[in-house]
Chain A
Amino acid sequence: MRIPCPYCGPRDSSEFAYHGDAAPRRPAVGNAAAMADYVYLRANPAGPMEELWYHAQGCRSWLVVTRDTRDHAISNARLAATRSPA
């Protein structure tokens, strides 16, 4: 699998570290139920999914990669730093 890094171009997935689902955003302190969902609850979709990948052996950027979990087709990759704050 090759991941199209917005800075480096297409690179072998072995250069990246996988973090997981990009959707959960850390909730405010004090809401135990929301924190439990943030830590444990995942949708696990069969289809396109936004994920966090770290380009550890390249530009050292966190990316948000849209990958289809059924066939690994990647439709988008952007720098996580361009996301709006939680």
Chain B
Amino acid sequence: MADPVSDWTHRGGFAGLSRRIGSGEGLKAVERAGLAAATVIARRGKAADAATALGRMLGAPVVDGGKRTSGGDVTVLGTGPGTWLVFGDRPALVADLTAALDGLAAVVDQSDANAILDLSGPRLVDVLEKGLRLDLHPAAFAADDVAVTAIAHVGVTLWMSDDRATVTLAIPRSLAGSLLHWLEASARPVGLTVEAD
């Protein structure tokens, strides 16, 4: 018999919001839907041990700081002292984290909490600087840096690709419409394409 819960299909926060504004050329926003996500919060005095355990799971060292570490299909983002936000393209992400961090950290499923947008295009930084109070110059923001901040009052977790060509924003999914409102207004002069299912 079909399971009425597990048979639900994931619907991204930007679903149904695809659009093209002006030339559509300046900035491209593509929703990354369907990723599993979890917060990892180290128990008191266990931040270093939790970072080590995360690193073992990824096969790459994880630090207790605002850095991105990727390993296989899993990306670990430092969001606060002893705190990480983890994304993974696997249904068992939360179970795997819980097993790897037993006794070291609290793991909470956030798979349906976020909407994730990949931003790229020739006018990427010109648009972002209208709402982002961060310096994204390579001298100030390394390719593996992670920032938790706000854009137009929407809390965002921000990171970029190794080649710096794509900036990714994770936001609370219920605020997808609010962020899109800001993005439309800010990218209108240069053109915007939003791609979501």
| Chain A residues close to B by CB (< 8 Å) | 7-9, 11-12, 14-15, 57-61, 79, 81
Contact = CB atoms under 8 A, between A and B. Distances in A.
B136 to A, nearest CB: 12
Contacts of B83: 59-60
Contacts of A15: 133, 149-150
B65 A7 contact: yes
Contact of B80 (A9, A11, A12, A60): A60
Contact of B81 (A9, A12, A59): A59
Given A7-B65, A60-B80, A61-B80, 18 more contacts: A7-B66, A7-B81, A8-B147, A14-B133, A15-B149, A15-B150, A57-B148, A57-B150, A57-B155, A58-B80, A58-B148, A58-B149, A59-B80, A59-B83, A60-B148, A61-B81, A79-B81, A81-B81
B114 interface: no
A61 to B, nearest CB: 6
A8 B155 CA distance: 14
A59 B150 contact: no
Interface in B87-121: none
B168 interface: no
Contacts of A9: 66
Interface size class of B (residues with CB under 8 A): 10 to 19
Interface of B: 65-66, 79-81, 83, 133, 147-150, 155
Nearest to B133: A12
B148 A8 contact: yes
A59 B148 contact: yes
A85 B59 CA distance: 37
A59 B133 CA distance: 15
A14 B65 CA distance: 22
26 contacts: A7-B65, A7-B80, A7-B81, A8-B147, A8-B148, A8-B149, A9-B66, A11-B133, A12-B133, A14-B133, A15-B133, A15-B149, A57-B148, A57-B149, A58-B80, A59-B79, A59-B80, A59-B81, A59-B83, A59-B148, A60-B83, A60-B148, A61-B80, A61-B81, A79-B81, A81-B81
